[in-house]
Structure 1
Amino acid sequence: MEFLIERLPRFLDGAWVTVQLTLGGSALAFVLAMVFGIMGTAGHWLPRAVSTVYVEVFRGIAALVLMFWMAYALPVATGFQLDDMFAAILALGLNVGAYGAEVVRSAINAVPRAQVEATVALNLSWFQRMRLVVVPQAWAQMLPTFGNLVIELMKATAVAYLIGVADLAAVAQQLREATGETVVAYSGALVLYYLIAQVLILGMRLLERRANRKLGRATPGGGGPLSLLRPPSVGTRVGVAK
């Protein structure tokens, strides 16, 4: 315990780098997922083809290999050296964004066809249909899977130390090599990774509750804090976002 207390500042510094990698990678993955997921539902074949190429390419490449390519192969091929942190974020975002794009595409396609046809009858533009009817309903369906992807992305940041990023895994490795305290060093990293994951899970639960409230869906367990630990129920009432 004394070992952990003395080295807590180093662990926290590494944890902060891990949080930055998670937030940066998640933001990039979300943007890519929304763009290519919506393109995957387009009526024209060209945007669907572009979306399919992106998804199949980056879903089929290991995040670690992509990270190595960004950090080591890209400078050789182009002469342009990326910052190690940015290279890790870019690799994680591209990889997880490909999975997220399929989530977005599936959720949009799951919106009842009758509601889409009703928006057409109301003479709403494509942008209005997506903003007011389609995306709000799809958003509530995307969130549980998005939560899983964010957790997986956070865990994938543990390999970023292999390209020189001083994240939580790197701190644990350095302390193990410097002190020989293998069990304690990795136990500290394990606890901090777990705590970060719990914060992310809580945040996604809050987003799920908010999305379901906007659609008029029931929230289980009232409004108590313990209800955040339970998955939201799926109601039958749907409509335009408020």
Structure 2
Amino acid sequence: MTWTQYLPPLLKGAQITVTISLASIALGAILAFAAGIARTSSNRILSGIAFVYIVLFRGTPLLVQLFWFYYALPLIGISFDPITTGIMTLSLLTGAFGAEVVRGALLSVPHTQLEAARALNFSKSYTLWHISMPQAVIEMMPAFGNLAIQNLKDTALVSLISIADLTFQAQSMRNITLDSATVYTLTLVGYFIIALCLMLVMRFIEKKLRRGPAFPRSAHS
């Protein structure tokens, strides 16, 4: 087989890889903001739940998490198809790491600004979303960019639960053709191209945010 004959199955696998990665990044970002905000909350129950979630998923291997959701969870009557399992597990892991990024960025907002907000009798929710968050999001972007790339690389493990992603397709073709050099070189190039596109998108978003106003208009303007 020539290298061009490897492209159709690899491209098919790449589509699944991109779908899983983008979906889990989006859901992971939502979880990251929810858990990160909860960790900074004065509500001990919310903060405690977020802490347990973060420690659990940051402290256990992704491969074990995948196997637990795919093989162990069905034993108690809860099961998901492979792609849903992959997206869910990657989302939970990305959210756990992202939550610490969110928490750190929120805590980096100068305390004097929070005191000024209290002096102006702004509510906690208004202070969070209109003063702290706009500044914190800009600081989060480089770390979120790194998490997005890590998420993409982690998708290679979903092939172990029978998802025909890029890695799965590469391994299947390698087993048939024994052409390891060509197959895995094309696979590396495929992941590199996807990662490059992802980096460009994240940097574009970061630049857009940095060009925006540092502070939102006041509620009374």
Common fold by TM > 0.5:
yes
Q: 1:241 offset after TM fit, Å? A: 6.7
TM-score by length of 2: 0.94
Number of residues of Structure 1 aligned to a counterpart in Structure 2: 218
Moved over 4 A (4+): none
TM-score by length of 1: 0.86
The residue that corresponds to 2:113 in the other structure is 115
The residue that corresponds to 1:227 in the other structure is none
Q: Residues 67 and 88 of structure 1 are in contact (CA less than 8 Å); yes or no, is this contact kept in structure 2?
A: yes
Q: Specify every segment of 5 or more residues in structure 2 that has no aligned partner in the other structure, as ranges.
A: none
Distance 2:22 2:8 in 1: 21
Distance 2:201 2:137 in 1: 15
Distance 1:61 1:28 in 2: 20
* SS at structure 1 position matched to 2:2: helix
Bigger helix share: 2
| Cα distance change of structure 1 residues 241 and 67 upon mapping to structure 2, 3 Å threshold | farther
Q: After superposition, where does 1:146-165 map in structure 2 within 5 Å?
A: 146-165=144-163
- What whole-Å deviation, never above 9, does each CA across 1:164-220 have from its counterpart, x for those lacking one? 0000000100110111111101111100000000001001101110111113xxxxx
Q: Specify every segment of 5 or more residues in structure 1 that has no aligned partner in the other structure, as ranges.
A: 216-237
* SS at structure 2 position matched to 1:7: helix
Q: Residues 214 and 241 of structure 1 are in contact (CA less than 8 Å); yes or no, is this contact kept in structure 2?
A: no
Distance 2:101 2:9 in 1: 37
Q: 1:3 offset after TM fit, Å? A: 2.3
Q: After superposition, where does 1:88-237 map in structure 2 within 5 Å?
A: 88-215=86-213
Identity of aligned residues (%): 39
Instruction: Give 1:239's match in structure 2, choosing from 202, 215, 219.
Output: 215
Q: Residues 38 and 47 of structure 2 are in contact (CA less than 8 Å); yes or no, is this contact kept in structure 1?
A: yes
The residue that corresponds to 2:50 in the other structure is 51
Distance 2:33 2:117 in 1: 21
- What whole-Å deviation, never above 9, does each CA across 1:13-62 have from its counterpart, x for those lacking one? 10000001101111121111000100111123222211111111111111
Distance 1:27 1:57 in 2: 20
